[in-house]
Chain A
Amino acid sequence: MQRKPLFRPILLALILCGLAPGARAAGEGVDLMQRSWPENGPLGTFDRAAVQRGFQVYKEVCHTCHSLNYLAFRNLAALGFSDQELQAIAAGYKVPALDDEGQPIEREAKPFDHMPAPYANPAQARAANGGGLPPDLSLIVKAREDGLDYVYSLLHGFGDPPAGHQVPEGLHYNRYFPGGNIAMPQPLTDGQVTYADGTNASLDQMAADVTQFLHFVAEPKLEERKLTGLKAGIFLVVFAGVMLAYKRKTWRDLH
């Protein structure tokens, strides 16, 4: 009685096919704009210059409405900012504190502080945005399917609605936003910021840069993770080889 040689591969293939599509819910239907991101891929790393530019876009544009609660200024050290630069960046913000008599005051932020939010609370944020709540962006790239392409596309997606599409008062048409009507006005237009490194600030450039920056904030350990994976992978392959050889040797006397 011979075992079917296909038995194993078929079983595995079936199980894996079952998992992959099953694990994700059906998407919204609009094809996102694609881009190849340097931090993707097994050994991808963040493009430091792009992420720094993205930080500038966030600071100057998005920060008017969106918080970034999980970002502490010290985290930016990973982008290559020196201690002095971090001090200076932090000092550009005020954070609440108490004075010696316990009175609430504001002090200059330090590198260990987190990025202060633009609004004191969600109600204030809604009131200032025609009822829409600008979400915290710390995890936005992970919190959407295909987050990188989605955020990048969303920033491109404003424009005139197709004929017959009604945009309610106070909302804006965006073809990548589910339903098409978003409470965010188009945040980026060509030349919106003046890049410190002289890069031409086209809409596409800024959208890509800020998306990479938001990815960095969502996954600060991405590079460490991939590098650790490489080391673990090399170790495991060697280990598996040794174990296979050892297994063969052990079993030989049975054959």
Chain B
Amino acid sequence: MSVETSEPVFKNGVLRWVDARLPVLSWGYNEFMAYPAPRNLNYWWNFGSLAGFCLIVQIMTGLVLSMHYNPSAAGAFQSVEHIMRDVNYGWLLRYVHANGASMFFIVVYIHIFRGLYYGSYKAPRELLWMLGVVILLLMMATAFMGYVLPWGQMSFWGATVITNLFSAIPLVGEPIVTWLWGGFSVDDPTLNRFFSLHFVLPFVIVAVVFLHILALHQFGSNNPVGIDLTKTDKIPFHPYYTVKDLFGLSIFLIFFGFFVFYAPDFLGHADNYVPANPLQTPPHIVPEWYFLPFYAILRSTVFEKLFAPLALLGYVGIDAKLAGVLLMFSAIAVLFVLPWLDGSKVRSARFRPIYKWVYWLLLIDVVILTWVGGQVPTDRVVWIGQFAALYYFVHFLVIIPLLGKFERPRPLPESIGKPVLGRARLQPAE
């Protein structure tokens, strides 16, 4: 079964008239209906459309929340409680939005790890991958500022800790922090600007998502086998993947709904139901779970234990705090350059006997970092955190480049219909 891309002919005269002058309809048709997709995509390919769904949910619930929300230090906490108690279905809106952020990150992290497993970042999809990393960064900024809005204790202290990181920048650090705050501490002006930015950044994400999709459709989706496919191995997105995505969406909604309706505060922090109090620091300041791996890298960077040798950085004016910030950002920067770190021409881990294992080690490493980020940094936790942080970078900067040189991939099939070894997966993976 193959796809012939032809210009759609709209039966409706008005649509035809419009499309002849503004071909947005045929564009939409070509990109989202006729789009030739590999016929062997498995369920891990559902997470792209799920991420798009999450973005739309966040924008719609956020829009209504912002109609009732009051971005002032004196009124923010109260207005969120007003939403929870007095606005029709306000509790639902807020729980969907707050848990929606977590769901969005779960989906996007799975989406990223899918890309890592099947080598979706490799040529010719480097820009597609990098746009994805940009989206991740924008999501992080958006979620961070969103978490400040309810103005609870964790909002306030999280904002204080994270904005303070910029003070690590030599010379201009302090003035930058003051500039970010709009004052000498996190306060009304900070909350106001965070609200503006939190409102607008998702729309920037929408724009980058369009670029992401544009880049995707240039060469088409990668697939579990990771080879370039011929026309005969592609099927039109609609109805095959629309219906598969809808099925995936309904399962995702059950998972999402479980949190919203039965454990709405499980992923949050009790402390954020205490109004912000600049005079009282909570005993443990912990960011949201989706930041924990990065937070772990930040906090593990002390010039002691495993990282004692880093003290040498002191001679070039980099103190432990700055080193931590740099390492934390590098954790994302390595993702940017990953397409060039990985020299292996074979995309899918299915044909890379060693990478397949290394991949799982990375995943376990990230899970460990997530755990470390949520713990009180005792000696033991710092040791574990340092090993895990080190391994993260070793994975990307040492193992991946070496594998590209020395790993001997299994022979690739010529097409998904013609496997090299027996036991073929002739059919689409479901």
Q: Bound state CA distance, A189 and B354, in angstroms?
A: 67
- Given B235, B254, B366, B410, which contacts A237 in the complex, CB threshold below 8 Å? B254
Residues of B within 8 A of A81 (CB): none
Q: Name B259-315 residues within 8 Å CB distance of A.
A: 260-262, 264-267, 269-271, 273-274, 283-284, 286, 289, 292
Which of the segments A17-25, A97-105, A154-162, A165-173 contacts the partner chain? A17-25
Q: Is the CB of B240 within 8 A of A250?
A: yes
Chain A residue at smallest Cβ distance from B272: A143
- Given A139, A229, A243, A255, which contacts B273 in the complex, CB threshold below 8 Å? A139
Residues of B within 8 A of A107 (CB): none
Q: Is the CB of A1 within 8 A of B419?
A: yes
Interface presence of A35 (CB below 8 A): no
Interface presence of A84 (CB below 8 A): no
Interface presence of A225 (CB below 8 A): yes
Residues of B within 8 A of A255 (CB): 427-428
With A23-B374, A144-B270: A243-B289 Cβ-Cβ less than 8 Å: no
With A143-B270, A145-B270, A225-B264: A243-B284 Cβ-Cβ less than 8 Å: no
Which of the segments B5-13, B213-221, B241-249 contacts the partner chain? B241-249
Chain A residue at smallest Cβ distance from B290: A19
- Given A25, A42, A220, A230, which contacts B284 in the complex, CB threshold below 8 Å? A25
Residues of B within 8 A of A11 (CB): 110, 113, 363
Q: Is the CB of A232 within 8 A of B427?
A: no
Residues of B within 8 A of A1 (CB): 350-351, 410, 419, 421, 423, 425
Interface presence of B375 (CB below 8 A): yes
Residues of B within 8 A of A144 (CB): 270
0/1 interface trace, chain A 66-85, chain B, CB 8 Å (1 if under): 00001000010000000000
Interface presence of A124 (CB below 8 A): no
Number of interface residues of B (CB under 8 A): 66
Residues of A within 8 A of B95 (CB): 225
Chain B residue at smallest Cβ distance from A237: B254
Chain A residue at smallest Cβ distance from B254: A236
Interface presence of B404 (CB below 8 A): no
- Given B270, B292, B423, which contacts A142 in the complex, CB threshold below 8 Å? B270
Q: Bound state CA distance, A251 and B243, in angstroms?
A: 9
B260: min CB distance to chain A, Å: 7
Q: Is the CB of A243 within 8 A of B367?
A: no
Q: Bound state CA distance, A26 and B380, in angstroms?
A: 14
With A143-B271, A226-B262, A228-B261: A244-B247 Cβ-Cβ less than 8 Å: yes
Q: Bound state CA distance, A239 and B419, in angstroms?
A: 36
Q: Is the CB of B428 within 8 A of A229?
A: no
Chain A residue at smallest Cβ distance from B268: A23
Interface presence of B373 (CB below 8 A): yes
Q: Is the CB of B270 within 8 A of A240?
A: no
Q: Bound state CA distance, A254 and B423, in angstroms?
A: 19
Q: Bound state CA distance, A3 and B224, in angstroms?
A: 10
Residues of A within 8 A of B425 (CB): 1-3
Q: Is the CB of A22 within 8 A of B371?
A: yes
Q: Is the CB of A3 within 8 A of B367?
A: no
Q: Bound state CA distance, A159 and B401, in angstroms?
A: 64
Interface presence of B74 (CB below 8 A): no
- Given A23, A147, A228, which contacts B266 in the complex, CB threshold below 8 Å? A23
Q: Bound state CA distance, A139 and B268, in angstroms?
A: 14
Q: Is the CB of B374 within 8 A of A25?
A: yes
Which of the segments B84-92, B138-146, B327-335 contacts the partner chain? B84-92
Q: Is the CB of B85 within 8 A of A221?
A: yes
Q: Name B357-386 residues within 8 Å CB distance of A.
A: 363-364, 366-367, 370-371, 373-376
Q: Bound state CA distance, A42 and B261, in angstroms?
A: 9
Interface presence of A14 (CB below 8 A): yes
Q: Is the CB of A18 within 8 A of B371?
A: yes
Q: Which 4 A-B pairs have the closest CB atoms?
A: A229-B261, A240-B250, A18-B367, A143-B273
16 more contacts with CB within 8 A, not counting A221-B85, A255-B427, are A1-B419, A8-B43, A22-B370, A25-B269, A42-B262, A139-B274, A142-B270, A142-B273, A143-B270, A218-B273, A229-B260, A236-B254, A243-B246, A247-B243, A251-B240, A254-B428
Q: 14 A–B contact pairs at CB < 8 A?
A: A1-B351, A11-B113, A19-B289, A22-B370, A26-B284, A142-B273, A225-B264, A233-B261, A236-B254, A240-B254, A243-B243, A247-B244, A247-B247, A254-B240
Which residues of B are interface residues toward A (Cβ below 8 A)?
Answer: 1, 39, 42-43, 81, 84-85, 91-92, 95, 106, 109-110, 113, 224, 235, 239-240, 243-244, 246-247, 250-251, 253-254, 257-258, 260-262, 264-267, 269-271, 273-274, 283-284, 286, 289, 292, 350-351, 363-364, 366-367, 370-371, 373-376, 410, 419, 421, 423, 425, 427-430
